[in-house]
Structure 1
Amino acid sequence: MALARNRAIDHQFLSFINREQLFSQTDCILLTVSGGLDSVVMAELFRTAGFRYGIAHVNFQLRGAESDEDEAFVRALAEQHGVRFHTTRLPAKQQAEEQGISTQMAARHLRYAWFEQLAEENGYASIATAHHQDDVLETILINLVRGTGLTGLRGIPIRQGRIIRPLWFADRETIGDYARETELVWREDSSNASDKYRRNRLRHQVIPILKEMNPSLLQTLQTTVARLQSADQLLEEEMRRSWEEIAENRPEGVFLSIQQLLNQREWAFRLSEWLKPYGFQYVQIDPLAEAVRGDGFGQKFQSATHQVLRDRDYLVVSELQSVANQEIILNEMPTGEVSVSDHFFLRFEIIESLNGFQIPPNPDVACLDADRISWPLTIRRWQTGDRFQPLGLKGKQSVGNFLTNQKVSLTDRRSAWVVVAGEAIAWLIGYRPDDRFRVTGQTRKILKIERRIVGQ
């Protein structure tokens, strides 16, 4: 009975991929394999399904010989599967010390940045990690302990940019049963047995009690997460609608009518969500709300990047001068990647041989007529009053209206950047090139600009 149940994971795996449309049969997927139980099962499911894939492994050298043995194991696994193998060694401990963050956080940033680079350079359509239902539950509990909103209660998403989680539907017990019944071999990470880490304490001490209270905990979790996701989407739509109703963009910043704000239900919560993309923490909202309710004229509140001024009739949100003026000027064609922010790089390339060249249908790639580009180029945040001619359209429109029409979230629209050639915006990065720089039949060479996002 157990054998039939756990063999069904193959069918569930394929059904989940099809239902969520994670990738197509022709796509080549980069599998992130540590050598542990979950990632080895993921690789086996990809192999038996006949999908195209490669395997990537990161050695952080944190456990001495054990880390090297993990690398050798995954290399041998890739050879057995007959697929490409990618490996690297990354200094997680050193970066953690330099940036004052945990080793786990540094390792996460480093490995996802490397995975993204591999995918770009080798044509992988997506990057697959082996997160499953137990991981989702652990992440929700960690977020709950730290303090979170609806988004944090959704746990680990099925898809996040280029990252996909094809084992999201399964639990650890089912994965383990499948591995044993198919006689798979995997590596055990000795650190998983230690209660030194918060996640392990939850896994070993808290979750067993929750499962005892509700044996169907992980099954009900999927329904709960789906409901929370729907609620979060509805909340996002309502937050966007009410923001657009009372927010007014002016050269000095964004003006929020205090009277209109007070007329909104749960206005303090709305304010906290609206200001989150500007770097404000939830704990800062109480004193700001008091200034709104009372006579707080002239009071200022700051995040790392922005300021909120309590004017007589408005709250005025503006960037701190150092951030508002941040821009990168390229006097000539760069030879390597250009780091634009903590979140992405730009890579520039001149395409001179146009025979057979196809413009990729990817919003993170802009192909521009190189002869129409005037240097220097300026890379900066978009500003109120910026206008451009979106590719395929005849007339100009404001960047703000374009992002609104594209239903871009509040967070993403405030962090959008542009590439400016001369006085004209050549590319609203990640969204649309300007039609005036489009590639035509008369184009002799192409300036290809590609955005690479760091760690999702």
Structure 2
Amino acid sequence: MRSSLLRTVKKTIERYGLLSPGDRVLVAVSGGVDSMVLLEVLYLLRKEYDLRLWVAHYDHRWRKDSLKDALFVYRQAQEKGLPFIYGVAPVKEYARREKISLEMAGRELRYRFFERLYNLLDLQKIALAHHADDLAEEVLLKFIRGAGRRGLAGIPIKREAHLIRPLLLVTKEEIEVFAREWGLSWVEDESNQDVRFLRNRVRHLLIPFLERHFHRKVRENLKRTALILAEEEELIEDLARKAYEKALVRKPQIALRVPVLKDIPPALRRRVFWLALREAGVSLFRMRQSHLEALNNLISGKARGPVPLPGNFQAIRGPGFIRFVPKPALFSPFVLKIPGPGRYSLPIGGEVILEIKTRCSPRDIKLKLEKVSFPIIIRNRQPGDRIYWPAVGHKKLKKFFWEKGLTAEERDRIPIIEIDGRIVAIPGYYVHPEYKASSEEEGLCLSFQKIA
């Protein structure tokens, strides 16, 4: 029996290409039996695969004695001569601030910690201890929440080439047998029995009920279904990646071309959204079907946006594209009266410098002196604003900004220069032709510094 689990894990590693010789691997160890078996297995295979291992423990501070678990893992790493890294965060406070569940908050912070270490230590893999029973639970959870095909594929055995789950085809029972026969120690996390958590209700209540009253091999059947779907997902993911590259625009934020999205079948379009959201930094753990439906409405024109997304992000529709960007800080309307040349702080941040001279920077605004009268007004946009446009007479500022691809929030941050009730300039975008000074004549230069 001792070699049975090892044989299964080795077959899984070879079949799915989870490890390569010489890999530097971060092993996520909570101290529970699953992660202790994962650590032992990779330690036993380290010479065969020429692995360098790091042990990482993340303390969620859910329990007052959680530090004991961290010390236990530290001692286990010490015994094996492996480097130990400890991470901790007040998960409850984060969940409260972000208005998400404890489970989701813990998962977000935990994965963020592992990814930081992955980049900092120049690692090739992050090994996680999910097993076949976890896979069955995940499929049921996703089904309950109304996930699509992608969600029903459950937990991927490998994600983004560096997140690997060597125990995913091994059952909980096999793990516990291995742990006892190899004389391993582990700690019991009492929160795993707490049925206030949805996953625990699925684990301790729903699956046993299904096994008793419907089919005794529910876990095995769910695992088999998930693995079939996962293999098919590889093909769909490849198609989605090609469609994503075709639709992608960088402005510099992640943006997708609307005409391309409209031509993609809805099922593939959802995958393209996932790829864009992941690259933009949106928390995929928090994404729901309602978010995807809202994005589709943005594409079809049923909604104008912006569409709020998890983690203080939003999707913005522009002329021919949608962008995935962080929500900007809100700015209140402001009006600043400039009495004469000098240096003035702006309510939106930065400052403006007004000087009378002949040579101005190409980035500055240069106004004819005979057209200037003080006070000059600097403000942000107001309803009904119009600018003079030689070809059409006047144009709504709202339409002008739309044509420039600016979001509503970005428009609020742009200073408007007004003289005698007329908009004469917009830094970086517009200067009224009657007020624009030539490069040879002396004029009033307005230099805007660090507007952000």
1:41 aligns with 2:37: yes
Provide the C-alpha distance between the structure 2 equivalents of 1:250 and 1:191, rounded to a whole number of angstroms.
43
Q: Which residue of 1 aligns with 2:163?
A: 163
Q: 2: CA distance between counterparts of 1:85 and 1:254?
A: 45
| Aligned partner (choices 23, 28, 31) of residue 24 of structure 2 | 28
**Displacement after TM superposition at 1:167 (Å):** 0.7
1:25: how far off? 3.5
Aligned to 1:88: 87
The corresponding residue for 2:124 is 125
* Residues 24-78 of structure 1 deviation map (CA, whole Å, 9 limit, x = unaligned): 242231111111010011111122224431211122222112x121111111111
1:281 to 283, 288, 291: 291
Q: Does 1:99 align with 2:98?
A: yes
Provide the rounded CA distance (Å) in 2 between the counterparts of 1:217 and 1:142: 14
Deviations 1:423-447 (A, max 9, x none): xxxxxxxxxxxxxxxxxxxxxxxxx
Counterparts of 1:355-374 in structure 2 under 5 Å? none
Q: Does 1:53 align with 2:56?
A: no
Q: Which residue of 2 aligns with 1:17?
A: 13
Is the alpha carbon distance of 1:134 and 1:302 closer, same or farther for their aligned partners in structure 2, counting shifts above 3 Å? same
1:177 aligns with 2:177: yes
Task: Mark the structure with the bigger radius of gyration.
Answer: 2
Amino acid at match of 2:106: A
> Does structure 2 conserve the Cα–Cα contact (< 8 Å) formed by 1:248 and 1:256?
no
Which of 166-175 and 39-48 deviates more?
Answer: 39-48
User: How many residue pairs get matched?
Assistant: 302
Residues of 2 paired with 1:86 and 1:322: CA distance? Answer: 31
* Deviation for aligned residue 1:128: 0.8
**Pairing of 1:206-217 with structure 2 (within 5 A):** 206-212=206-212, 213-217=214-218
Equivalent residue letter for 2:14:
N
Cα separation, partners in 2 of 1:301 and 1:23, compared to 1, 3 Å: same
**In structure 2, distance between residues paired with 1:91 and 1:240:** 36
Distance, in Å, in 1 between the alignment partners of 2:84 and 2:258 is: 53
Equivalents in 1 of 2:273, 2:17: separation in Å? 34
Post-superposition Cα deviations, 1:256-310, rounded to whole Å, max 9, x if no partner, equal 399x86xx8xx66566666665797344489779x78xxx8xx74542344569x
* One-letter identity of the residue aligned with 2:80: H
Q: Does structure 2 conserve the Cα–Cα contact (< 8 Å) formed by 1:268 and 1:285?
A: no
DSSP 3-state at the match of 2:259 = strand
Q: Identify the residue that residue 74 of structure 2 maps to in structure 1.
A: 75
Specify the code of the residue in structure 2 equivalent to 1:128: A
Q: CA deviation at 1:21?
A: 1.6
Distance verdict in 2 for CA 1:80–1:209, change over 3 Å: same
Q: Cα 1:170–1:94, aligned 2, differ >3 Å: closer, same or farther?
A: same
Q: Report the equivalent of 1:362.
A: none
8 Å Cα contact 2:156-2:230 kept in structure 1: no
Deviation (angstroms), 1:217: 3.7
- Aligned partner (choices 307, 324, 343) of residue 303 of structure 1: 307
Question: Is residue 2:236 matched to residue 1:232?
Answer: no
User: Which SS does the other structure have where 2:41 is aligned?
Assistant: helix
TM (norm. structure 1) is 0.57
- Counterpart contact for 1:154–1:225, Cα < 8 Å: yes
Letter in 1 for 2:6: D
Paired letter, 1:256 = P
The superposition leaves residues 217-266 of structure 1 with CA deviations (integer Å, 9 ceiling, x where unpaired) of 44444432232124334444556778899x798999835399x86xx8xx
Q: Give the deviation of 1:86 after TM superposition.
A: 1.5
8 Å contact 2:294–2:307 — kept in the other structure? no
CA distance in 1, matches of 2:248, 2:109: 39
Map of 1:195 onto structure 2: 195
CA deviation profile, 1:184-225 (whole Å, cap 9, x unmatched)? 211011111121110011001111233444444444444322
Distance 2:74 2:114 in 1: 16
- Cα distance in 1, alignment partners of residues 171 and 248 from structure 2: 48
Residue in structure 1 matched with residue 64 of structure 2 by the alignment: 64
The Cα of 1:320 is off from its aligned counterpart by: 8.5
List per-residue Cα deviations over 1:129-180 (Å, max 9, x = no partner).
Answer: 1001111111111111111111101111111232211111101111111112
CA 35–230 in structure 1, closer or farther in 2 if over 3 Å, else same: closer
State the alpha-carbon separation in 2 of the partners of residues 321 and 29 from structure 1: 32
- Tell me the CA shift for residue 17 of structure 1: 1.4
Task: Give the whole-Å Cα distance in 2 for the aligned partners of 1:249 and 1:114.
Answer: 29
- Check 1:269–1:49 CA distance in 2 against 1; reply closer, same or farther (3 A cut): closer
- The share of aligned pairs that are identical, in percent, is 30
Q: Distance in 2 between matches of 1:125 and 1:273?
A: 26
SS of the aligned residue for 1:281 comes to helix
Q: Which runs of 4+ in 1 moved over 4 A?
A: 236-245, 247-253, 267-280, 285-289, 320-324
The one-letter code matched in structure 2 to 1:228 is L
Does the C-alpha gap of structure 1 residues 308 and 202 become closer, same or farther in structure 2, counting only changes over 3 Å?
Answer: same
**Cα RMSD for the two superposed structures:** 3.7
Letter in 2 for 1:10: L
SS for the counterpart of 1:117 is helix
Matches within 5 A, 1:380-399: none
| Cα distance in 2, alignment partners of residues 134 and 157 from structure 1 | 13
CA contact 1:248–1:255 (8 Å) conserved in 2? no
Separation in 2 of the partners of 1:223 and 1:249?
38
Cα 1:243–1:205 shift into 2, 3 Å? same
SS at match of 1:26: coil
Aligned equivalent of 2:152: 153
Unaligned runs of 5+ residues in structure 1 are: 310-314, 325-456
On the 8 A contact 2:315/2:322 being kept in 1, the answer is yes
Identify if the C-alpha distance between structure 1 residues 101 and 180 changes in structure 2 by more than 3 Å, giving closer, same or farther.
Answer: same
Residue aligned with 1:256, SS: helix
Q: Which residue of 1 aligns with 2:346?
A: none
- Aligned partners of 1:210 and 1:88: how far apart in 2? 38
Does the 8 A contact of 2:243 with 2:272 survive in 1?
A: no
Give the AA of the match of 1:281. Answer: H
Q: Hey, what does 2:257 align to over in structure 1?
A: 254
Contact 2:133 2:219 in 1 (8 A): yes
| Deviates further, 125-134 or 6-15 | 6-15
- Residues 139 and 222 in structure 2, CA contact (< 8 A), matched pair in contact too: no
> Which secondary structure does the structure 2 equivalent of 1:8 belong to?
helix
- RCO higher in 1 or 2 (8 Å CA, sep ≥ 6)? 1
